Amino acid sequence: MPTTFKRILSFTTALLLALTCALGLGNNVSDDYKEYKNVILMIGDGMGENTLAVTRQRYNTSLFLDTMPVHGNSDTRSFIFDYTDSAAGGTALACGIRVWINSVARFAFHPFTIDDTSVPISLTELAKANGKSAGVVTTDKTSGATPASFSAHAISRTLEKEISTDQLNGDLDLIWGADTDSVTEERCTEHGFEYVSTATELEALEEGSRSFAQFDFDDLKNCKSDNDTPSITEMTEKAIDLLDDNENGFFLMVEGACIDKFSHDNDFDGATKCVMAFDDAVKAAVEYAKEDGETLVVVTADHETGGIKYDAEKDEYYYTKDGHSTADVPLFVSEADAGFTDGQLVENRQISVQIARVMGFDETQFPAVKPYSGDPVVK
């Protein structure tokens, strides 16, 4: 394709993106909001309202989430369909745009897809480009669709090697999760990351370090520490501890990934255990935020998994499917002055846009595109 033509398309892309975002975004996030230096976005993968309800019932307890001052909902649809997956769902939360399912922070099958010279920037890239620190923590593989949406660009979530390479080439301060074959200690060291594979090594990390952590997936999924694996709460606390060294602030994404995985198997034991672990991590983040005074915690899900319904006669919850449903998901915010209103339904992509605004960036800065030269070459 001739360069001039590419440039025109690139410009058109940016223009259309700006227009869509300006016109397409409802006005149900408030223009009257306070700015926060740091934002922690916590995503319970597959966590619907009824996933929380069944957890409360099974553990006979309220959740820490229930104490948060703002409880709204997010409409999780993807670009074309009323359902989504963790790639398009993650992209909406990371980049403020809705794309085709399977697409990780790329314009796949979007009307703007004709232009492959640019990609939407994510909140981590926005933060890093403006002097903040940024990190991604998950209980999934580090190349999983949700963490990938915040740390890579790929036409499909299945391109695990390309995603890992993009992450290693990037400038995030920390990427922690379960191990993937394409990330080795040698590659991490080559790319300037400290390699970590145990809770002991994680705890020993010092401020100013950049780190790539690869833990045992079975431990993370089942909330165990058999292989010296940290809990999601320990990872969250340590990530905050490392990132908050930066006087310009930080953005951190934490994913509780396995609520979704257990719900695909219609396994309430596993899913509710993961909700409890995730809820505990949220508590740790909010406790930090309250003490810090300059940090906002936003909690939501990328989609609901399992189509969980309630049978009032039996006072029982039950799964209706083994895939994702179109149900709206919960949205919790740790402060009432951040533009999110209790009881409101927002679009998933608005959450991302509002987080950018809260961090001090306006609509000319986010959503936005950056030049892209294609998927990374995997060595």
Q: Which is nearer to Zn ion, 242 or 274 (CB)?
A: 274
List C-alpha distances in Å: 286 to 175, 236, 240, 273, 301.
Answer: 21, 11, 11, 20, 17
Q: Encode 142-181: b = buried (16+ Cβ within 10 Å), e = exposed.
A: bbbbbbbbbbbbbbbbebbbbbbbbbbebebbbbbbbbbe
Binding mask of the shown chain, residues 304 to 333, with x at each position contacting Zn ion by CB under 5 A:
-x----------------------------
Q: Which is nearer to Zn ion, 207 or 265 (CB)?
A: 265
| Nearest Cα residue to 244 out of 204, 208, 194, 283 | 208
| Candidates 8-16, 120-128, 298-306, 360-368; binding stretch for Zn ion (CB under 5 A) | 298-306
Q: Which two tokens stand for residue 119?
A: 């990609």
Q: Which residues, 40 to 69, sit near Zn ion by CB under 5 A?
A: none
Contact 47, 127 (CB under 8 A): no
| Candidates 137-145, 170-178, 285-293, 300-308; binding stretch for Zn ion (CB under 5 A) | 300-308
Quickly count: other Cβ atoms within 10 Å of residue 344's Cβ.
17
Q: Which is nearer to Zn ion, 305 or 348 (CB)?
A: 305
* CB of residue 256 to Zn ion, shortest distance in Å: 13
The gap from C-alpha 321 to its chain's centroid, in whole angstroms, comes to 24
Give the residue at shortest CB distance from Zn ion: 260
Does 140 bind Zn ion (CB under 5 A)? Our answer is no
Q: Look-up: residue for tokens 């951190």?
A: 252
* CB of residue 305 to Zn ion, shortest distance in Å: 5
Contact 154, 102 (CB under 8 A): no
| Candidates 75-83, 190-198, 255-263, 367-375; binding stretch for Zn ion (CB under 5 A) | 255-263
* CB of residue 67 to Zn ion, shortest distance in Å: 28
- Those residues whose C-beta lies under 8 Å from the C-beta of residue 203, and which sit 6 or more positions away, are 230, 234, 238
* CB of residue 105 to Zn ion, shortest distance in Å: 18
Q: Encode 187-225: b = buried (16+ Cβ within 10 Å), e = exposed.
A: bbeebebbbbbbbebbeebeeeebbbbbbbbebbbbbee
Q: Which is nearer to Zn ion, 83 or 340 (CB)?
A: 83
* CB of residue 121 to Zn ion, shortest distance in Å: 25
| Candidates 230-238, 302-310, 314-322, 361-369; binding stretch for Zn ion (CB under 5 A) | 302-310
* CB of residue 260 to Zn ion, shortest distance in Å: 4
CA distance 349 to 110: 15
- Answer for which of 173, 260, 302, 335 binds Zn ion (CB under 5 A) is 260
Count of residues touching Zn ion (by CB under 5 A): 2
Quickly count: other Cβ atoms within 10 Å of residue 10's Cβ.
18
Q: Which is nearer to Zn ion, 246 or 305 (CB)?
A: 305
Q: Which is nearer to Zn ion, 194 or 260 (CB)?
A: 260
CA distance 27 to 292: 30
Catalog residues that contact Zn ion under the rule CB under 5 A: 260, 305
